[in-house]
Structure 1
């Protein structure tokens, strides 16, 4: 299987999506920008007031109290409006991020499971967590500072221009240096940030793979190999961080040079204009103060571009998810599901040159229970995931109810096929909420299934169905977690139930109970059981034995035990143990 990475939106598509999200908050956008601009403008009245005060002093004027009061008023109003503008901007930004995050999550959930698996769940997790967090930090810190700096630069240049246009022209001598510095910086930093995001996602994918398969990793003693792969990605990320830091430091040197050019020009122009009597000393002082006040905003503006660029890369990854093709709406009522499965010459490979499934053919009649057994690495779990639609089949055909699996609407397939692995998840909340996530069963139905699956311990909990479990709730043992998940499966309306070693975590005391619960959870539906204990295979209508990605035997337990072959050998070893 060739990995199909999730797409990354182009700059134009990202800008279009962001503007559309802001457009749905047009009033708040305008209010935030106007308030922030007014706050910056009020604070920038201060240099003008100081210039008037200098002129008054040179003329031997009287009290400075009015100037002091005006100065305090300017700064107070500016601080208050700037604070209000930042609050409005934070509300705007967080609301927009929430909309983008939810849209990305909703689109991801609408995709066929095989599409997400093919791309790697680590990439999706990195986008919905790390990228969202990166954008959130920028909106909270960098964006208000960037906009305040931008407004400060524009208004400061306007103020210098009102004093004398030549002051503004002198200040603009720094602009070419800043412009070429910024171009140099963006040209060198953009590839670094894009590569860094990709490496972080790859590191997340490798970590998730190792954690998910921790039992297999430990059994095969490949801990060091996985740690080396994760360390390799971490070293790449660190190297990229160092490169980015070096580029930022060089950029800072260029900015300092631009400030030197601009300030020198303003002071020289001011000297000649004052000496020639064309402007007063107060105007020259105000112009110098305006330019000195540009140091902070200009540095902030240019350095925040660094963070905004990083956030832009994150937004492009999020809008890449949002831009994924969405399945067409369901047309009419889904046809009745019987649970028939037909697989012909199925081939599958996680990596080129590796055959995980090779010419697998099988079928299951509605209501038939099939156990799949074999040694570790035989292809059992891969087969289960293909049947559930979690992996795309590479060769051959997979049909549910005589319809090719790729022709099923993703929502219909998820309703028709439910799969439970050996690592079931306990959702945070009450047990009632946990059981109701995948069905609209009422309390009576829940209690009936709990009783049929022998899970009376659930009702014996402190608050019964209302007992809070999961994070910050009552901890459940691995056996209880699997038992609860089986009740959830029993309540689902699916016509096919796939249990991939769904009772593997049970201790010896719970094994028989959970095996019986698994049979009860399947009920009269079609069941595919990936059996890690041969006792689970005995009760199946038919057993498939897999070796090296192929089905090498098929039959009932009695037939296979009587015939010489892999199953008889496995059974002999099982009963001897």
Structure 2
């Protein structure tokens, strides 16, 4: 899969936005209606101002009382407009919060729905950037843009219509002067989407570089790659900075151009209106009213200009968030059910991560129910890749991996976990009680079963917790790497699959604790199949059979005594391991 995640096109983003609007159409209708009333109320004040001017010009004995009534009416309608605008914004902000939550939940569901074999190959930095930065931008936009843009649009529309109705000639003059604003927006929009997509892409690349550097810090230090990683980071920073400056340049052109263009309608109407009033075509009150309307038009148009700029960046973020829907699942959702028997059979399995070079070559392996099989080999031999095939996380490109005659990768996730569980040195402890962390594996487990599972993996630390199973992890109490891994292993005991694959599952434990945990697991899982990726040869020594991997091939298979007597790859590893008692690991 490409290192660049898909980006949704404009039609897909538009369709997603319409779906979000339809999902809460009541609020959208409420925003438009209430704001329409607010805009209508806002038109009365300038109209009454024009009447006041014409009344004063006409004179009369009761001019003061008429002016007072008109001024009081303008005050009332101003208060009504303010109240209705506040109400419209309140409805809009609540709509924005609900819609923002909907977008985040949709992104999370799409991420969690990805097949593991797909998710494992996604660029982590880009995925994190989409789920955090891009989702936050979209949420902020939906929270504020929808109500403010709708308010500004309705207000601007009412003002333009009012000017045209008041005097068509003055209205057309004002509209003609808005051509500059339209030209500025058109110039900007044509260039903004690529610029903001570049900003998002370079930001994601920078996040990916930083994340991979931090994750591989020990390897980088060991191999002396600090300078190379520093250069890669500097290059990513430079690209991100260049992209952001490009988007900034567009804004420096848009806003000055728009500010000048927004002043032209008022200037044009004053000039034309003054000439018409001097010739007796229109009254002074009409000219003042039209001028006030167009002056008020600057506010909503300025709001729209600001949001047009921000919506380009939000649109790019929306396209990146929605782009997750375009990630191919590579295969249909599994619906096959396991056949009879728990026998695992690997037949002529080949696998490649990049399609250009196989990392596994023609693996043939049969694992009998209840057998303890250890898979050993030096770093890069293909042990973990084979474990992923056995667990159904990856599918061989050629050949097959089956349980009871059914391809493992074809089993639905829930059924697959009832047959095979892969546990690695990577684990997660949720900020919750010990009890709830364990019940992830079996929700209906009793406290006695939870205690038994922890005891099976040697988790004596439970006795030191202040509230036992009710202890909240993540607040005042935290677990070290060894304890967290034991908690993860206890989940496996509770899940009770017929086949357990341990891929360096005890790598975080000290040798004595790891030895005790493996012995406990062996006792609990007696009669079940256990496949261990052995990073300690002592683990292999206890297995029923040992499979030796080298350069992606299965080169030896037999018992410990048989392989030591043969004196080939395993025999040499065993001899070397005993010759260096402090070196008890084969490598990752």
Normalised TM-score (structure 1): 0.90
The whole-number CA distance in structure 2 between the counterparts of 1:414 and 1:111 is 16
Please name the residue that 2:585 is paired with: none
Unmatched 5+ stretches in structure 2:
582-588
Q: Residue 113 of structure 1 contacts residue 389 of structure 1 at CA under 8 Å; is this kept in 2?
A: no
Return closer, same or farther for 1:46/1:13 CA change in 2, 3 Å cut-off.
same
The whole-number CA distance in structure 2 between the counterparts of 1:119 and 1:141 is 32
Q: Residue 13 of structure 2 contacts residue 319 of structure 2 at CA under 8 Å; is this kept in 1?
A: yes
The whole-number CA distance in structure 1 between the counterparts of 2:500 and 2:217 is 25
2:429 counterpart of 1:448: no
Please name the residue that 2:23 is paired with: 24
Deviation at 1:386, TM superposition (A): 3.4
Residue 121 of structure 2 aligns to a residue in which SS?
A: helix
Question: Whose Rg is larger?
Answer: 2
Q: Residue 152 of structure 2 contacts residue 301 of structure 2 at CA under 8 Å; is this kept in 1?
A: yes
Deviation at 1:114, TM superposition (A): 0.9
Residue 358 of structure 1 aligns to a residue in which SS?
A: strand
Q: Residue 46 of structure 1 contacts residue 75 of structure 1 at CA under 8 Å; is this kept in 2?
A: yes
Return closer, same or farther for 1:414/1:111 CA change in 2, 3 Å cut-off.
farther
Deviation at 1:485, TM superposition (A): 0.5
Q: Residue 487 of structure 1 contacts residue 521 of structure 1 at CA under 8 Å; is this kept in 2?
A: no
Deviation at 1:476, TM superposition (A): 0.7
The whole-number CA distance in structure 2 between the counterparts of 1:343 and 1:555 is 16
How do 1:134-283 and structure 2 match up within 5 A? 134-283=137-286
Number of equivalences: 574
- The structure, 1 or 2, with the larger RCO (C-alpha pairs under 8 Å, 6+ apart) is 1
2:289 counterpart of 1:290: no
Worse overlay, 354-363 or 303-312:
354-363
Q: Residue 39 of structure 2 contacts residue 155 of structure 2 at CA under 8 Å; is this kept in 1?
A: yes
Please name the residue that 1:433 is paired with: 436
Deviations 1:243-301 (A, max 9, x none): 00101111223313422443332222211221122222222122112222222321321
Please name the residue that 2:116 is paired with: 113
Deviation at 1:304, TM superposition (A): 0.9
Please name the residue that 2:565 is paired with: 562
Q: Residue 92 of structure 2 contacts residue 144 of structure 2 at CA under 8 Å; is this kept in 1?
A: no
Deviation at 1:426, TM superposition (A): 0.4
Deviation at 1:6, TM superposition (A): 4.6
Please name the residue that 2:372 is paired with: 369
Please name the residue that 1:86 is paired with: 89
The whole-number CA distance in structure 2 between the counterparts of 1:388 and 1:311 is 40
2:397 counterpart of 1:397: no
Deviation at 1:113, TM superposition (A): 1.0
The whole-number CA distance in structure 2 between the counterparts of 1:178 and 1:401 is 70
Unmatched 5+ stretches in structure 1:
none
Return closer, same or farther for 1:244/1:161 CA change in 2, 3 Å cut-off.
same
Q: Residue 339 of structure 2 contacts residue 403 of structure 2 at CA under 8 Å; is this kept in 1?
A: no
Q: Residue 110 of structure 1 contacts residue 411 of structure 1 at CA under 8 Å; is this kept in 2?
A: no
The whole-number CA distance in structure 2 between the counterparts of 1:363 and 1:287 is 88
Return closer, same or farther for 1:165/1:524 CA change in 2, 3 Å cut-off.
farther
Worse overlay, 42-51 or 370-379:
42-51
The whole-number CA distance in structure 1 between the counterparts of 2:340 and 2:215 is 32
Return closer, same or farther for 1:261/1:245 CA change in 2, 3 Å cut-off.
same
The whole-number CA distance in structure 1 between the counterparts of 2:218 and 2:341 is 36
Please name the residue that 2:64 is paired with: 62
Deviation at 1:372, TM superposition (A): 2.1
Return closer, same or farther for 1:328/1:511 CA change in 2, 3 Å cut-off.
closer
The whole-number CA distance in structure 2 between the counterparts of 1:228 and 1:338 is 55
Residue 556 of structure 2 aligns to a residue in which SS?
A: strand
Q: Residue 369 of structure 1 contacts residue 540 of structure 1 at CA under 8 Å; is this kept in 2?
A: yes
Please name the residue that 1:547 is paired with: 550
2:423 counterpart of 1:420: yes
Normalised TM-score (structure 2): 0.88
Q: Residue 111 of structure 1 contacts residue 410 of structure 1 at CA under 8 Å; is this kept in 2?
A: no
Please name the residue that 1:14 is paired with: 13
The whole-number CA distance in structure 1 between the counterparts of 2:217 and 2:533 is 19
The whole-number CA distance in structure 2 between the counterparts of 1:230 and 1:394 is 35
Q: Residue 31 of structure 2 contacts residue 147 of structure 2 at CA under 8 Å; is this kept in 1?
A: no
The whole-number CA distance in structure 2 between the counterparts of 1:4 and 1:446 is 42
Return closer, same or farther for 1:85/1:518 CA change in 2, 3 Å cut-off.
farther
The whole-number CA distance in structure 2 between the counterparts of 1:331 and 1:534 is 39
How do 1:484-503 and structure 2 match up within 5 A? 484-503=487-506
Return closer, same or farther for 1:227/1:513 CA change in 2, 3 Å cut-off.
farther
Deviation at 1:441, TM superposition (A): 3.5
Please name the residue that 2:361 is paired with: 358
Deviation at 1:67, TM superposition (A): 4.7
Please name the residue that 1:317 is paired with: 320
